[in-house]
Chain A
Amino acid sequence: MSPLHVVLVGYGPVGARFVEEILPGVRTGAVALTVLAGEDVEAYNRVLVAEYAVGNTELDAMFVGDRETAEEAGARVLLGVDVTAVDRAARTVALSTGETLAYDRLVLATGARANVPTLDGIERHRRDLASLEKYGAQLVARDDDLPAGITALRDLADAERVLEAVRARRRIIVLGAGVLGLELALAAAHAGAQVCVVHHGPHPMPRNLDRGGGHVLRSALRRTGIQVIAHSRAEAVAFRTGEDGERRFDMLVTADGKQIRGDLLVLSCGVSPRTELAVLAGLRTASGVVVHPSLASWTDPAIFAIGDCAQVVERTEELARQRTLPGAPSGLIAPGWRQAAWLAGSFLDEAVERPTSATPPVEREPLVMLKAEHIDVVAVGDLGGDPFDDDALHPRRRVSQWADPEHLRYVKMVTEDGVLTGFASVGMPRTAAELTLLFERGGELPADRSILLRFDGPDYDPAADADAFAPATTVCWCNAVTVGRIEESAACGNTTVECVGRDTRAGTGCGGCRGRIAEVLARVGDPDGEPTLTV
């Protein structure tokens, strides 16, 4: 049996996971795998790019793919090689090296690129079919060059630019207040840079947070020294020419005329799937490469897409006729990994002609967590409604809320029949961690929702629920002797630690409780007074 020829385009964290999962088939020869990695670098964990950009981690610690193992197993991994075209009829791909490769299964894991907003002063390229056909060589697998002093934050080169500014403690303007922009802003501020966040919504993370959560987050950001400029639509950038003769970014100009000066402008305005190969190949695309839940293209059953470039839509006749389609790639890593693992598994089954039983992963709504040292934000789901709603459209929806803006704490929990369907948590890490688990597992919330809040209460000290001198409190762990038992012993005339030990065995194990026994005895002698130590 000849092997199943699989060609993977893209070697980011999702591509690397796909490789890892399909390796068993490569080892046995059932699968012949070729990986085309656009960047000339090992697969790295893009989630950590902001950390890298402020010097919190090193490149070595970001690599996720184990290329050596993959190559030992027989996979061919080509770093720095792009696919320039797909010939679907011939089932081949053309490479930037001039080589042509045949495939049985083509997997697109090309990811996404940072959006460059429409700003006077920055040139953007369209990537529609006409432009791609005309300028394919410049546009496929390439990002637009940005002027000096302006960068996105997507890949390592971007991160290097940011790192230079952070190290020099420059003033950094972050355009956009989504989760990625804020992570960078917080990390850069923490690393000593001056940071200003400019965004056009009323509060940060508008896609993820409700008004209450957003306002508490804004206060928290300001408390860290970050300048937050809301309600501001960026319109243009202006440049200055430095002493070295280079033209660099100078200021961001907003629609209402604000001029915000800085040394580096970081564009954090979302991402768009890299679909140009698919567009050129005539595959159905919308915001991403449109695939069935099985991850196969709507247009070509031999082509698949996973991760940030994939838009999973269940195909119906009605949808097939529409120009726009619902949904979009989540932009989060976990769904991409699940897709990679599932697709690799289904290829393995196919390669050995084993019926596949598993059903494709069904994605829950993705949960968003802000990665930052001092601010904790977790949010997921629809946060509509308020506690006093009487909404006929949502008869079973209930909302509980806790807001303490002064102390930067906020929690909103939305449930249907007691099961969490959405929540936002700001400044309450333990609560957020528990809510995350409850959401992922579909568990019912405790009827007393405040239990969840208490984890983060300043008084949360599980030790405090026990009176150190309550009769049932254990004093000697080795022998399970309680305060009550020691008091009883004392009442029988055992008034020293030694005597109590002989009578009850308290203190005859590790001996660590002998001081405590003395305290109990002292209280027996003088119930109202301060304990005095007499051994």
Chain B
Amino acid sequence: MTRSADTHCPYCALQCAMTLTPTGAPAGRPDATTDAAAAPVTVAGRDFPTNRGGLCKKGWTSAELLTAPSRLGAPLVRGADGALHETSWDEALDLVATSLRGIRSAHGADAVGVFGGGGLTNEKAYLLGKFARLALGTSRIDYNGRYCMSSAAAAGNRAFGVDRGLPFPLEDLDGAETVLLLGTNVAETMPPFIGHLAGAQAAGGLVVVDPRRTATARLTDDGRGLHVQPVPGTDLPLLLGLIHIVIAERLVDLDYIGSRTVGFDRVRRSVAAWWPERVQSVTGVAALTLKRLARRLASGANTYILTGRGVEQHVDGTDTATAAINLALLLGLPGRAGSGYGTLTGQGNGQGGREHGQKCDQLPGYRKIVDPEARAHVARVWGVSPDVIPGPGVPAVELLKLLGAPGGVRALMVHGSNLVVSSPNVLDVRAGLERLDLLVVCDFFLSETAALADVVLPITQWAEEEGTMTSLEGRVIRRRRALTPPDGVRDELWILHELAERLGSTAAFDTDPEAVFEELRLASEGGIADYSGIDYAMLDRGDAAYWPFPRGGESTPRLFVDRFAHADGLARLVPVAVRESARPVATGDEITLITGRLLEHYQSGAQTRRVPELLAARPELIASLHPATGLRLGIEDDDRVEVSNVRGIVHCRARLTPDIRPDAVFLPFHYGDEQTANLLTSDEVDPISAMPEFKTNVVGIRRLASVPAMPVAESGVPA
């Protein structure tokens, strides 16, 4: 096979377009005696409205994973000796099916849990939800998007009646004169995105709110905008303060508020108590800065407000995202040409992955699982009685707390997620996984989670499969196969099909992605995320298909032009308040931990830590501290430090940088084992979205007596 394939990057939600051209090098694992095989495909950026031919370092090196030495090439089963051993597919699948049947008959269907991921294609995500509900009969399915988009999704649904990350094409940002980025470091997480900020930069209107002086914050230098550096955990008061100023200074768009929204009066009351000086005393952002920012946002120039995980991954993340939406609505931005509100979806298919049934309370098409009409519709497509479909399950963190608990989950299937790196309070998650009777992990590599599994099923990578993804714009795009997968690996659709059959399910589990997509179209028809008008042929022609795209209807590149998705067409202004008891506050010597991302790594690092060039650039966990904090704690650059709290202990190297506030420490969460930042994060969750708190955990830091440098292998690739 030498034809090249037009596809998209395997990593983030920007889904940069790329072309893969086979080199003729043999696919599959390299010979054990060589370090690495030549990549079987070359990667080239492809012109597309989002990335315009560009790729970041992760995208350029993505093909190296196809032949990475540590790639799994056969199913693994834990033997009596406690080690994982290669076995045949039949044996592995029989074992899984037998165990699942046994657990189900002994403990009931809800004793089996499923944990999905935001990187799965639409077809996989859809089929996984169906598999859980029909083949397993369990309500207990949720996914890692709970740690990612759940707060913004809940806020969007509440305000607009729909949750599409960007309700407009990314290119619209090019014409912006003011862009407010709240808690997002796009320059590192999706670098080609920043090309779309050039207009705002040229107009001096790029505003970045982040407690760290990130690469994105630096884009505001030299008169190109403003970096606002609040205390971690004060995003909500900051936004309430901006709303207060916008109202007090009569900068609101009264016509828009009157004709397109409800709830202004209560929101107005809810911010009366947040005058600028009070906000200054809480956030550390000068009142004058707040006023200037509010005035800039309201200056009438094309203005966009975009949120990221920085303001959403909080125990009050839904309310914080809601405050950002309220600000946008009061300024009349959503649905107005040349302006808007959006949230930047993170994972590759973080958008599609949250629409088609991986969420515990949801059925395909962004339908609610408790809605009788939705159940009836999906049951018809699935050819079952609505009563067969289980009710709502529990969100991710709660699901993990049920692992091995009485009446809880005895078996867990994990798809596209590295739980013991990306979940909060990792020690508890590890303990939960160890209490299970059966842990099945589908992955390309022996991730930290796979290493704990009873059965590991090796699966295809992006260049070896067909399917669709839905980008951060809500645009459905095609993933195309450039290579035949290596012999020992299988597609997850096939795995679900085989398991369903072994479990005696009579429902259809197609193995052909296009056939699965056709079914997804029917299932989503009439739902909020309606894909029924989209087909592969259309996507292969290059048509831009933004959902909702009803059968016989049209693509919807821009939502909210005439109406919002609530029945009355109006957006909801929802008053939100600061809950003072929401989070512990660092006092005295304590420091606030911010977790986040690096350019070179993606999510749990299961993939990027296996790309030599990326690992070499960022081989180990490093804690970023302000020099003043270093001085106070007796920590110098490159010292080894212990970062700890009641939940756990992390050892790493320290880097002193003025780019962080003196009251905070930054740890990227991409590393495994004792370098896992999530050992320190709390599993308290947002009461609405069930999002954990990743950004304001309280820690102590101390210098460790000098010890030899840690070998790279320990932090990088497990053997």
Residue B465 CB within 8 A of the other chain: no
Q: Is the beta-carbon distance between B280 and A436 smaller than 8 angstroms?
A: yes
Q: Is the beta-carbon distance between A48 and B281 smaller than 8 angstroms?
A: no
Residues of A within 8 A of B57 (CB): 478-480, 505
Residues of B within 8 A of A66 (CB): 266, 269-270, 575
* Least distance between B52 CB and chain A CB atoms (Å): 7
Q: Is the beta-carbon distance between A478 and B588 smaller than 8 angstroms?
A: no
Contact with A along B625-655 (1 / 0, CB 8 A): 0001101100000000000000000000000
Q: Is the beta-carbon distance between B285 and A433 smaller than 8 angstroms?
A: yes
Cross-interface CB contact of B273 among A13, A378, A442, A510, cutoff 8 Å: A13
Q: Which residue of B lies closest to A51 (CB)?
A: B248
* Least distance between B264 CB and chain A CB atoms (Å): 9
Within 8 A of A (CB), among B590-630: 599-600, 617, 628-629
Within 8 A of A (CB), among B194-208: 194-196, 198
Cross-interface CB contact of A376 among B53, B213, B286, cutoff 8 Å: B286
Q: Is the beta-carbon distance between A508 and B191 smaller than 8 angstroms?
A: no
Residue B54 CB within 8 A of the other chain: yes
* Least distance between B534 CB and chain A CB atoms (Å): 28
Within 8 A of B (CB), among A331-354: 334, 337, 341
Residue A393 CB within 8 A of the other chain: no
* Least distance between A373 CB and chain B CB atoms (Å): 7
Cross-interface CB contact of B663 among A47, A436, A441, cutoff 8 Å: A441
Residue A474 CB within 8 A of the other chain: yes
Contact with A along B263-307 (1 / 0, CB 8 A): 000101110110111101101111111010000000000000000
Q: How many residues of A contact B (CB 8 A)?
A: 58
A45-B275, A480-B599 known; A508+B60 contact, CB < 8 A? yes
Residue B702 CB within 8 A of the other chain: no
Q: Is the beta-carbon distance between A436 and B56 smaller than 8 angstroms?
A: no
Q: Is the beta-carbon distance between B586 and A441 smaller than 8 angstroms?
A: yes
Residues of A within 8 A of B188 (CB): 477
Residues of A within 8 A of B56 (CB): 478-479, 509
Residue B34 CB within 8 A of the other chain: no
Q: Which residue of B lies closest to A13 (CB)?
A: B273
Complex Cα distance A241/B273, Å? 42
Kindly specify which of A55-63, A77-85, A96-104, A228-236 makes contact with the partner chain.
A55-63
Q: Which residue of B lies closest to A334 (CB)?
A: B278
Residues of A within 8 A of B247 (CB): 61
Q: Which residue of A lies closest to B628 (CB)?
A: A446
Cross-interface CB contact of A430 among B54, B198, B286, B629, cutoff 8 Å: B286
Contact with B along A421-441 (1 / 0, CB 8 A): 000000001101110110011
Residue A154 CB within 8 A of the other chain: no
Contact with B along A503-517 (1 / 0, CB 8 A): 001001111100000
Contact with B along A443-464 (1 / 0, CB 8 A): 1101110010000000001110
Complex Cα distance A337/B578, Å? 13
A462-B658, A462-B659, A477-B194 known; A508+B54 contact, CB < 8 A? yes
Residues of B within 8 A of A341 (CB): 580
Complex Cα distance A189/B194, Å? 44
Residue B499 CB within 8 A of the other chain: no
Residues of B within 8 A of A397 (CB): none
Kindly specify which of B215-223, B402-410, B468-476, B707-715 makes contact with the partner chain.
B215-223
Q: Which residue of A lies closest to B52 (CB)?
A: A511
Q: Is the beta-carbon distance between A462 and B213 smaller than 8 angstroms?
A: yes
Q: Is the beta-carbon distance between B192 and A48 smaller than 8 angstroms?
A: no
Q: Which residue of B lies closest to A466 (CB)?
A: B218
Residue A181 CB within 8 A of the other chain: no
Q: Is the beta-carbon distance between A441 and B195 smaller than 8 angstroms?
A: no
Residues of B within 8 A of A45 (CB): 272-273, 275
Cross-interface CB contact of A441 among B194, B588, B659, cutoff 8 Å: B588
Q: Is the beta-carbon distance between B195 and A447 smaller than 8 angstroms?
A: no
Q: Which residue of B lies closest to A42 (CB)?
A: B269
Residue B520 CB within 8 A of the other chain: no
Cross-interface CB contact of A371 among B55, B276, B284, B658, cutoff 8 Å: B276
Residue A367 CB within 8 A of the other chain: yes
Complex Cα distance A85/B599, Å? 69
Within 8 A of B (CB), among A350-372: 367, 369-371
Q: Which residue of B lies closest to A512 (CB)?
A: B195
Q: Is the beta-carbon distance between B194 and A447 smaller than 8 angstroms?
A: no
Q: Is the beta-carbon distance between A61 and B663 smaller than 8 angstroms?
A: no
* Least distance between B46 CB and chain A CB atoms (Å): 12
Q: Is the beta-carbon distance between B585 and A441 smaller than 8 angstroms?
A: yes
Q: Which residue of A lies closest to B218 (CB)?
A: A463
Residue A243 CB within 8 A of the other chain: no
> Which among B60, B272, B284 has the highest number of chain A CB atoms within 10 Å?
B272
Residues of A within 8 A of B575 (CB): 66
Q: Is the beta-carbon distance between A443 and B663 smaller than 8 angstroms?
A: yes
Residue B416 CB within 8 A of the other chain: no
Residue B543 CB within 8 A of the other chain: no
> Which among B187, B222, B284 has the highest number of chain A CB atoms within 10 Å?
B284
Residue B541 CB within 8 A of the other chain: no
Q: Is the beta-carbon distance between B588 and A510 smaller than 8 angstroms?
A: no
Q: Is the beta-carbon distance between B281 and A369 smaller than 8 angstroms?
A: yes
Residue B250 CB within 8 A of the other chain: yes
Complex Cα distance A83/B193, Å? 63
Q: Is the beta-carbon distance between B286 and A433 smaller than 8 angstroms?
A: yes
Cross-interface CB contact of B287 among A57, A65, A429, A461, cutoff 8 Å: A429
Complex Cα distance A433/B237, Å? 14
Residue B587 CB within 8 A of the other chain: yes
Residue A465 CB within 8 A of the other chain: yes
Complex Cα distance A283/B659, Å? 56
Residue A64 CB within 8 A of the other chain: yes
A62-B272, A477-B599, A479-B56 known; A509+B286 contact, CB < 8 A? no
A45-B275, A48-B248, A447-B632 known; A429+B286 contact, CB < 8 A? yes
Complex Cα distance A478/B191, Å? 5
Residue A298 CB within 8 A of the other chain: no
Residue B554 CB within 8 A of the other chain: no
Q: Is the beta-carbon distance between B54 and A478 smaller than 8 angstroms?
A: yes
Residues of B within 8 A of A440 (CB): 281
Q: A371-B287, A433-B280, A446-B631 are in contact. List 10 more A-B contacts (CB 8 A).
A: A56-B248, A58-B248, A64-B273, A433-B285, A436-B281, A437-B231, A448-B631, A462-B221, A508-B60, A510-B192
14 inter-chain pairs at a CB distance below 8 angstroms, sorted by A residue, are A47-B275, A58-B250, A63-B269, A66-B269, A371-B275, A429-B280, A433-B285, A437-B281, A446-B628, A462-B221, A509-B56, A510-B51, A510-B192, A510-B193
Residues of B in contact with A (beta carbons under 8 Å apart): 45, 51-57, 60, 187-188, 191-196, 198, 213, 215, 218, 221-222, 227, 231, 244, 247-250, 266, 268-270, 272-273, 275-278, 280-281, 283-289, 291, 575, 580, 585-589, 599-600, 617, 628-629, 631-632, 658-659, 662-663
Top-4 shortest CB links A-B: A510-B195, A478-B191, A446-B628, A463-B221
